[in-house]
Amino acid sequence: MNDTLAQLSKLKVVVVSHITDLAGPTEALEDFLKVKVRQLGLIYHPFYYCADRRSQGRLFSQGSKIYNSRLPGIKLPEVFQFAEDIILTIYYLFRFARRFDIFVGVNPLNAAIGILLRKLGLVRTVVLYTIDWMPRRFPIRLMNNFYHAVDRFAVRHCDVAWSLTPRIAAIREEQGLPQEKSLVVPVGVQLKKIRRIPIEQILRSHRKRAVLLGALAPSKGADLVIKAFSEIARLVPNVELLIIGRTPINASEDSKAFQPYEDKLVQLGERVRLLGVLPHDEVLRVLPQCHVGLAPYDPSGIILSQYADPSRVKDYLACGLPVVITKVPQIAGEIERLIAGIVIEYDATEFVNAVVTLLTDDELYRQMRNGAIKLAQEYDWETIFIQALSRTLLISDNPTHLQGIT
């Protein structure tokens, strides 16, 4: 580990990513690299449905910010939005006026830019970091075919591919990526930031809090939560439901628009509290005050979650919350293995029974809380990134000579 950190301290790294309103792997990578590399460039483009659509470019030198800019984007259809983001990426790289040792392109469109820059000698090693993947990324066939053509290009020409889950890594290897260039880099948690509340205090709480974290959308199980909550409230009179997140702007999935969920949640009564989108540090302060984390992904909707490693689930676990989760994401198997929650089908009766059981059975709750904390220990961000970067440096083109671009 010390050798890796010493090598990183000599390098210039740039990360280019699309982001959402909530913190995820990109922001965690920023926090890790900012104080460990010689220079770090960051270029972020919010997705079209985010409240703040301004792209941003930041440059750090040994942890100190030396450049910071936000540029307002033009409101365009999604396909043209990506084209605008490419132009802004090139603009920010020009403003940085540096060559970089490592270019981390989060998802293929951004990684493809790094591959072209490598051809120009401006980048030495390109990492394709896949944090979401699905066969039908766009509802329009032409857009979807183009996206996957870029995806295959990035896989063929990157130096290293980081995949969020083994399912994505398997796809990469089916696409012809050599196994030695394929790394699984799962979602982690910032364990040092979390202050869990003692279990006895949680059990004595006059409120029993369930929490739903993240974007409110059909695929995330918002409909099931709304359908089931009245019955949960009847069986557990002192239950409270916290909602951290909101319905995305211009909400749609797989070309189907859906209405905001906030009004439906308000109609459930005063025991539902809508906290909106919170900074991630605030999320990690609120979650330990809750009892149960909700992650009822809908298997009949879009299948992004089947390939994803949901950040919300890792945050629940790290804060000591047993999770009620459907079988959609791969982490459900780990939760079942370590008895860190209850795995269910996407069914209202099963959902009600699981939540009520965890809120009323103290002995089972103790067991599953211990399982949640134990599972979270396997996903410390610092360990994950050190391992990923160590292997990346080893398998890059000239690992023994990667001493930093002057």
What is the Cα 165 distance to its own chain's centre?
Answer: 12
Residue 202 C-beta-side C-alpha neighbours within 13 Å: 25
132 pLDDT band, cuts 50/70/90, is confident
What is the Cα 192 distance to its own chain's centre?
Answer: 18
406 belongs to a structural domain: no
Q: Is residue 392 located within the same domain as residue 373?
A: no
**pLDDT exceeds cutoff 80 at 256:** no
Q: Is residue 168 located within the same domain as residue 213?
A: no
304 pLDDT band, cuts 50/70/90, is low
How many residues does the structure list for the chain?
Answer: 406
DSSP structural state of residue 270 = T
Selected residue with higher pLDDT from 15 and 87: 15
402 pLDDT band, cuts 50/70/90, is very low
**Count of domains in the chain?**
2
CATH number for the domain including 129?
3.40.50.2000
Q: Is residue 384 located within the same domain as residue 319?
A: no
Whether 88 contacts 126, CB under 8 Å: no
147 pLDDT band, cuts 50/70/90, is confident
180 belongs to a structural domain: yes
Q: Is residue 75 located within the same domain as residue 122?
A: yes
77 pLDDT band, cuts 50/70/90, is low
Q: Is residue 51 located within the same domain as residue 184?
A: yes
242 belongs to a structural domain: yes
34 belongs to a structural domain: yes
Average pLDDT over residues 73-97: 82
Selected residue with higher pLDDT from 126 and 78: 126
Q: Is residue 149 located within the same domain as residue 266?
A: no
42 belongs to a structural domain: yes
Q: What global pTM score does this model have? A: 0.82
Q: Is residue 205 located within the same domain as residue 179?
A: no
**pLDDT exceeds cutoff 50 at 113:** yes
Q: Is residue 117 located within the same domain as residue 153?
A: yes
340 belongs to a structural domain: yes
Q: Is residue 74 located within the same domain as residue 206?
A: no
Task: Taking each helix axis as running N to C, give the angle between helix 348-360 and helix 362-376, from 0 to 180 degrees, rounded to the nearest 10.
Answer: 100
218 belongs to a structural domain: yes
Structure tokens at 249: 């702007």
Q: Domain of residue 70: give its range.
A: 2-188+380-401
Highest mean pLDDT range out of 135-149, 169-183, 251-265? 169-183
pLDDT tens by residue, 367-385 = 999 999 999 999 999 999 9
Average pLDDT over residues 257-266: 89
Q: Is residue 143 located within the same domain as residue 231?
A: no
Q: Is residue 285 located within the same domain as residue 308?
A: yes
Average pLDDT over residues 73-98: 82
Is the backbone of residue 82 left (phi > 0), alpha (psi -120 to 50) or beta? alpha
DSSP structural state of residue 189 = B
% of the chain beyond a pLDDT of 70: 92
**pLDDT exceeds cutoff 60 at 404:** no
**pLDDT exceeds cutoff 70 at 87:** yes
267 belongs to a structural domain: yes
Whether 158 contacts 111, CB under 8 Å: yes
Q: Is residue 226 located within the same domain as residue 326?
A: yes
User: What is residue 406's predicted lDDT score, i.e. its pLDDT?
Assistant: 41
User: What is residue 79's predicted lDDT score, i.e. its pLDDT?
Assistant: 64
Selected residue with higher pLDDT from 46 and 128: 128
DSSP structural state of residue 130 = E
On average, the pLDDT of the chain sits at 90
- CA pseudo-torsion sign 334, 339, 340, 345: positive
